[in-house]
């Protein structure tokens, strides 16, 4: 009886102890919940490090100094119908506002005056002569003669504007033809050649009058079109073999675009007289010399004037 009582007491004590030390098994965490916890932890650590790290000192980027820019030439205006005759002095190369360094090659197709002497000049910005030569060129009115020249020059500045001026006189000493090409001159660098474009044609086109025509009645009626070189006046003249001006007229054009003109040149002669009809324009950028004055363009026709 005593042993049964001890066994019952032992079992009751054991059951009480087990009920007080119950083991709780944790619920397993899913893979998505683990990824979320890791990402949030990483962001928190990066934010903390960024806040505590010293900020770098920003050095301002130096601004580049722009290089000087040479203005490009304006586009050559398009000729009105009628400008199809090649210039007596026709530039092949260089073209307008070409950038040239010394020496450069000048190429021409020209009809020299009756004197068969051609004057070649390179004129600087202040009007000084940088190059000049006098060449004998056989006269070929039907097609012209091809010539090329090697032109050396020296300038004091880095760059400046310039003019290539070609002229030829007749056998009486009158300017028979003259043409000019504006260019840019540089002391260093490489030449950059532009195309000639419209400057291969004469700047004047007459209606109903040609070289060698006869004029009667004491009045020469003129009608045509002209492409001004600049905004300076344009002069029409009848010049005798003795280089005397028989008649003259001033034409004013608005700007440098092609414009029509119509005028008269009255004259007085007592007998048939050979005279040269000259149209010319000047430029203040050129030196006023005794032979070519300040001519930038000259075109002429020889006419026979009758009373």
pLDDT for 58: 44
Phi-psi label, residue 34: left if phi above 0, alpha if psi -120 to 50, beta otherwise: alpha
Indicate if the pLDDT at residue 297 is higher than 50.
Answer: yes
CATH of domain 89-305: 2.60.40.2550
Q: How many Å apart are CA 173 and CA 16, to the nearest integer? A: 145
Phi-psi label, residue 233: left if phi above 0, alpha if psi -120 to 50, beta otherwise: beta
Percent of the chain with pLDDT over 90: 65
Indicate if the pLDDT at residue 176 is higher than 70.
Answer: yes
Q: What is the pLDDT of residues 47-98, one digit of tens each?
A: 443 444 444 444 444 444 343 433 434 444 444 445 778 999 999 999 999 9
**Average pLDDT over all residues of the chain:** 81
pLDDT for 211: 95
Q: How many Å apart are CA 117 and CA 110, to the nearest integer? A: 11
pLDDT for 46: 40
Q: What is the pLDDT of residues 186-209, one digit of tens each?
A: 999 999 999 999 899 999 999 999
pLDDT for 287: 86
pLDDT for 36: 43
pLDDT for 163: 97
Domain spans, the chain:
89-305
What is the bridge-based pairing of β-strands 145-151 and 175-186?
unpaired
Indicate if the pLDDT at residue 25 is higher than 60.
Answer: no
Indicate if the pLDDT at residue 31 is higher than 70.
Answer: no
pLDDT for 142: 85
Q: Which residues pair with 122 in a beta bridge?
A: 131, 164
pLDDT for 49: 36
pLDDT for 84: 79
Minimum mean pLDDT range among 21-25, 152-156, 176-180, 224-228: 21-25
For the segment 221-231, the average pLDDT, to the nearest whole number, is 95
Q: How many Å apart are CA 87 and CA 177, to the nearest integer? A: 9
Indicate if the pLDDT at residue 233 is higher than 90.
Answer: yes
For the segment 259-267, the average pLDDT, to the nearest whole number, is 96
Taking the model in full, what pTM does it have? 0.74
Percent of the chain with pLDDT over 70: 73
């Amino acid at each position: 009886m005593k042993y049964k009582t001890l066994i019952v007491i032992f079992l009751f004590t054991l059951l009480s102890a087990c009920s007080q030390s119950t083991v709780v098994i944790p619920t397993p965490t899913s893979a998505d919940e683990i990824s979320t916890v890791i990402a949030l932890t990483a962001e928190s650590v990066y934010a903390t490090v960024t806040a505590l790290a010293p900020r770098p000192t920003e050095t301002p980027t130096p601004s580049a100094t722009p290089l000087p820019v040479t203005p490009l030439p304006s586009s050559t205006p398009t000729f009105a119908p009628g400008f199809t005759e090649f210039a007596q002095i026709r530039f092949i190369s260089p073209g307008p506002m070409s950038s040239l360094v010394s020496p450069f090659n000048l190429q021409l197709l020209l009809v020299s005056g009756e004197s068969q002497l051609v004057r070649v000049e390179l004129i600087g910005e202040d009007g000084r002569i940088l190059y000049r030569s006098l060449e004998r060129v056989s006269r070929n009115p039907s097609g012209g003669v091809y010539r090329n020249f090697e032109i050396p020059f020296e300038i004091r500045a880095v760059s400046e504007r310039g003019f290539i001026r070609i002229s030829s006189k007749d056998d009486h000493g009158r300017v028979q033809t003259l043409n000019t090409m504006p260019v840019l001159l540089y002391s260093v660098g490489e030449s950059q050649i532009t195309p000639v474009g419209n400057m291969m044609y004469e700047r004047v086109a007459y209606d109903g009058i040609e070289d060698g025509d006869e004029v009667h009645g004491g009045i020469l009626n003129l009608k045509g079109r002209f492409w001004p070189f600049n905004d300076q006046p344009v002069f029409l003249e009848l010049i005798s073999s003795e280089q005397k001006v028989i008649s003259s007229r001033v034409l004013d054009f608005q700007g440098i675009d092609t414009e029509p003109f119509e005028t008269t040149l009255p004259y007085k002669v007592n007998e048939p007289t050979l005279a040269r009809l000259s149209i010319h324009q000047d430029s203040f950028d050129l030196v006023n010399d005794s032979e070519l004055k300040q001519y930038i363009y000259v075109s002429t026709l020889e006419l026979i004037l009758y009373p």
